[in-house]
Amino acid sequence: MGGPLMTFVHRRRRGAELFLLVLALAVGIGAYAAVGLGVEGVVPADLVGYGGWLTGLIVAAHITVRLVAPYADPVLLPLVAALNGLGLAVLRRLDLTYETLGQAHTFARQQLTWMTVGVVLFIATLFLLRDHRSLQRLTYTSGLAGIVLLILPFVPVIGRDINGANIWIRVAGFSLQPGEVAKVLLVIAFSGYLVLHRDALALAGRRVVFVDLPRGRDLGPILAMFGVSMMILVLQNDLGSSLLFFGLFLAMLYVATERPGWLVVGGLMFAGGALAAYTFVGNVQRRFDIWLHPMDYYTDPGTSFQPVEAMFGMGWGGLIGRGLGNGFPERVPFAYSDFILSTIGEELGLTAVMAIVLCYGLIVERALRIALISRDGFGKLMAVGLGAIFALQVFVVIGGVTGLIPLTGLTTPFLSYGGSSLVANWVVIALLLRISDQARRPAPRLDPVDDDVADSESTQVVKLR
């Protein structure tokens, strides 16, 4: 006779999610009101309308989760709501400043429109995708679609070169970044491929310095992804996306095989490719020179003026910032997109920047937690990949703004102005919630074989938070 059967039952925790959403809305709406007081000296006249629209979007997302994904993670949606709300407030602060300079911008209004589209797709994803495992059937279709989207900016009619990066397309009057959608499709493709082939990829080859390197015959996938990442780096002039896509595949490959040798091989390949690009591609070399010696190029327009001004602003902001409306973020040309974190650092201080980094860290932690409790290999790898998207993108963006690594052109998720990124990231959160709902949902009860196990007194139920 065995011991009591221990059954783990996750609580739904929708009430906790609602409480956290109230706090998140307080952050977003409160920051919006503080912007009006700091810049104009009065509470914004549209505060009620803005707050009502933002609240309606978040409540609609919460009700959807409550109805179709009741066991989903209760922390992800509040974190996203807080970041998105704060980003809208900072964009409104920049709009007011640009108006005083005679430059009419409506970044906040447009971003709220894109947020509405993102929430609608978030809701549609949860309603239409009832089981994430159905995406495994689209492994190769997703991979092909992702590659096509990465190639679209090279098409002469619709491709656009904006600010030196050839990563945009223009369709029906809108500028879009197809790479933002491609990253989601490639996560699906990588997950399906690695689930099928991880046993072969996990086989060890030659052992070098306590590390088992992969076999030569298994290097095909990583060589293909390396070629794609180098194409993005050289042809699209986009170091950030190159690092994102290759790092994403490498992280998922390591998790699938549990072989550190893949990290060694992948790291050496990317370092070699970056060195070759630095040697033979003039634009890449210039970026590294600006990163290493920013003050030497400070007076040269279009080079290091922006990152240097961003560092000046963050330094002036100090620990608690100058207050919303009391800084000069307009000195940074792209304060609304690539450098929105410098605006926050100047006016809300290092404290707010650390809080934002913590929020992103929690999103990644929840994604990895979802991967740990997921019952299927495809869901595990997909959750890891979606979490790696945020981890790599935030590292690349914040590292570039603070001078830790060369500057790249990626946006800060949910904070920066940009419709493609915002909509794609809302869909990523929907996918994570769907996987977590499947993972936390109680497993169907099976008929016990042992009569002793069938006894209700011998079954112990453990509720997980």
- Nearest by Cα to 237 from 400, 389, 394, 407: 407
| Residues 422 and 57 sit within 8 Å (Cβ to Cβ) | no
The string of pLDDT tens digits covering residues 123-156 is 999 999 999 999 999 999 999 999 888 888 887 7
Per-residue CA distances from 174 to 47, 87, 113 (Å)? 28, 21, 13
Q: State percent of the chain over pLDDT 90.
A: 46
Indicate the average pLDDT of the chain: 85
pLDDT over threshold 60, residue 80? yes
Q: Is the pLDDT of residue 369 over 90?
A: yes
Q: How confident is the model over 200-209, as a mean pLDDT?
A: 66
User: E strands of 106-254, at which residues?
Assistant: 159-162, 165-171, 174-176, 204-208, 211-214
Q: Does pLDDT of 22 surpass 70?
A: yes
Q: Provide the residue ranges of all domains of the chain, joining segments of one domain with +.
A: 13-441
Cβ–Cβ < 8 Å for 102, 409: no
Cα(43)–Cα(362) distance, rounded to whole angstroms? Answer: 32
The pTM (predicted TM-score) of the whole model is: 0.89
